[in-house]
Amino acid sequence: MSGHSIIQVRNLSKSFGKNLVLNEISTDFEKNKVVSIIGPSGGGKSTFLRCLNLLEIPTSGQIIFDGTDLCAKDVDINKQRQRIGMVFQHFNLFNNMNVMRNLTVAPVRILGMEKEEAEAKAIKLLKRLGLEDKASSYPSQLSGGQKQRIAIVRSLMMEPDVMLFDEPTSALDPEMIGEVLDVMKMLASAGMTMIIVTHEMRFAREVSNRILFLDGGRIDEDRPADEFFDSPRSPRLISFLDKVL
Amino acid sequence: MGFFAQIAAILERYTPFFMEGVKNTLIIAALSVVLGLIFGTLMAVMRMCRIKPLKWIAVAYIEFIRGTPLMVQLMFIFYGLPMIGITFPDVSWIPNFSRFMAGIVAMSMNSCAYIAEVIRSGIQAVDSGQMEAARSIGFRYRESMTLVILPQAVKNILPALGNEFVTVIKESSIVSVIGIADLMFRTNDVIAVTYRSLPCLAIAACIYFVMTFIGGRFIALLEKRMRHERA
């Protein structure tokens, strides 16, 4: 293991009513590394990811982001969230704003960036993805793949220290999955710290440094990507891989 | 004399009567919706707020008002309140001011409950992912509301609010029972002097229909314009 951890998770538990979804999870996420989380549905993957930026409030445990315990009472969670990008399964672009405004509203309103500066930055990023002609479109006029790529750019505009991806390709038509994964690969090779919940096994293997298998609210296996697929140890992971590969 | 000839004769003679009724109906409907909107917004905020007692008060109010007849509410305010010492003052330069006030208070208290529900459901109909996206990028709750949620909610709320206005125009006919000279009251006046109820009621129905129809068209237009704005 090299580099220092940007997120440390300590004894994280989350229950919804009587239903224990996450059970005492502890793990570290390092800077500039890509970690994928896979596992059966209902295993707690999304809940785990959503706890990392406190979209779900953990029942107990700690999430230490760059030295700050996010669950502490005196922490301004809004300040911390600015540094944690999140990409959703259903894109969640702001429907009442065009693409340009989707990209610039947070940098301008939250970071106090000049509007012109933010727009120049947005154009630069859109050009890199070949989406500059969509700047004045509204989300309803875009394809799923375009929406998700714009959503990734929206996160990038804030220059986050880490990006969370919650099943970013699950709601896409098959022919659009590639274009989104390509953008994510680009980010990974640029050194972005990424935590990805995904069902795309090939992609996970290709892009991740490490893979977690989350099942029954616990991390059942935690290995470098190649080992994870080539020599899985946990019986549940073996049967899971049998089913999906 | 044929039916339409009767209508023509009545209109020739009593049009100013009907028009005064229309004026009062519109005043009551407009004021009730405006007041209903102000207090309805407040009620919707209470209904959704995290402070439990405020929420309970709002829920109880909304459920009670929606679950009892407007007629009872109106009677309660006009006849009931004075009995416990609460009266609306008379203002010398506005005839029948206290009657009017009772009517408007009852109508707007009623409309307030419906509007609160319209606003609440309009806000809750906005996809929860929108709020999550706004919060996850670092916006505070208030900013997320004003920048992302409310602009989308308005598109759900406005048409329903228009319908509420149309409903209030129709329902306001009930204030005639406490002696407010609205369209229904004036219609009864004309019936009383002409003994021709059918043509008079036909005239009243037509006038109500024209008012609600114009209101409805206006809302449809507004809705269409907003849809264009989005795309």
pTM here is: 0.83
**Residue of chain A with shortest Cα separation from B136:** A81
**Helices B150-171 and B97-124: crossing angle, nearest 10°?**
140
Cα–Cα distance, A242 to A49 (Å, whole number): 25
CB contacts < 8 A, A to B, total: 66
Token reading at A76: 């301004």
Higher-confidence residue of A22 and B158: namely A22
Contacts of B141 (CB under 8 A, 6+ apart): B135
Query: B172-215 pLDDT, tens per residue?
Result: 999 999 988 899 999 999 999 999 999 999 999 999 999 999 98
The dihedral sign for the CA sequence B64, B69, B70, B71: negative
CA dihedral B66, B69, B73, B74 (to 10 degrees): 130
A residues 42-81 near B, CB within 8 Å? 53, 55, 78-79, 81
A residues 199-238 near B, CB within 8 Å? none
Query: A226-243 pLDDT, tens per residue?
Result: 999 999 999 999 999 998
Average pLDDT (A130-143) is 94
Which residue reads 């319908």 in tokens? B163
Query: B84-106 pLDDT, tens per residue?
Result: 888 887 777 777 788 888 999 99
Q: ipTM of the predicted structure?
A: 0.92
Say what the pLDDT of residue A3 is.
60
pLDDT surpasses 70 at A1: no
Which of A73, A91, A59, A243 is CA-nearest to residue A48?
Answer: A59
Token reading at B152: 């989308």
Higher-confidence residue of B225 and A157: namely A157
pLDDT surpasses 80 at A133: yes
**Residue of chain A with shortest Cα separation from B129:** A92
**Helices B183-194 and B3-48: crossing angle, nearest 10°?**
160
Q: From the list A86, A96, A155, which residue is nearest B151 (CB)?
A: A96
- Looking at CA atoms only, how far is residue B123 from chain A in angstroms? 14
Contact B137 A155 (CB under 8 A): yes
Query: B48-85 pLDDT, tens per residue?
Result: 988 999 999 999 999 999 999 999 999 999 998 888 88
pLDDT, chain A, mean: 93
Assigned fold of B23-186: MetI-like fold (1.10.3720)
Residues of B in contact with A85 (CB under 8 A): 137
**Residue of chain B with shortest Cα separation from A56:** B132
- Looking at CA atoms only, how far is residue A37 from chain B in angstroms? 20
Contact B231 A109 (CB under 8 A): no
Alpha helix locations (H) across chain A? Answer: 45-52, 77-81, 99-111, 115-128, 144-156, 174-189, 201-207, 225-230, 235-244
Say what the pLDDT of residue A189 is.
94
pLDDT surpasses 60 at B230: no
Say what the pLDDT of residue B159 is.
84
Query: A174-193 pLDDT, tens per residue?
Result: 999 999 999 999 999 999 99
Cα–Cα distance, A78 to B141 (Å, whole number): 9
CA distances from B185 to B165, B168, B192 (A): 20, 16, 11
Token reading at B21: 């009724």
Contact B132 A55 (CB under 8 A): yes
Contact A86 B134 (CB under 8 A): no
Query: A4-44 pLDDT, tens per residue?
Result: 899 999 999 999 999 999 999 999 999 999 999 999 988 89
Average pLDDT (B121-129) is 94
Average pLDDT (A204-215) is 94
- Looking at CA atoms only, how far is residue B225 from chain A in angstroms? 15
Domain ranges of chain B: 23-186
**Residue of chain A with shortest Cα separation from B154:** A96
Q: From the list B133, B143, B152, which residue is nearest A96 (CB)?
A: B152
Average pLDDT (A69-85) is 93
Q: Is A108 on the interface with B (CB under 8 A)?
A: no
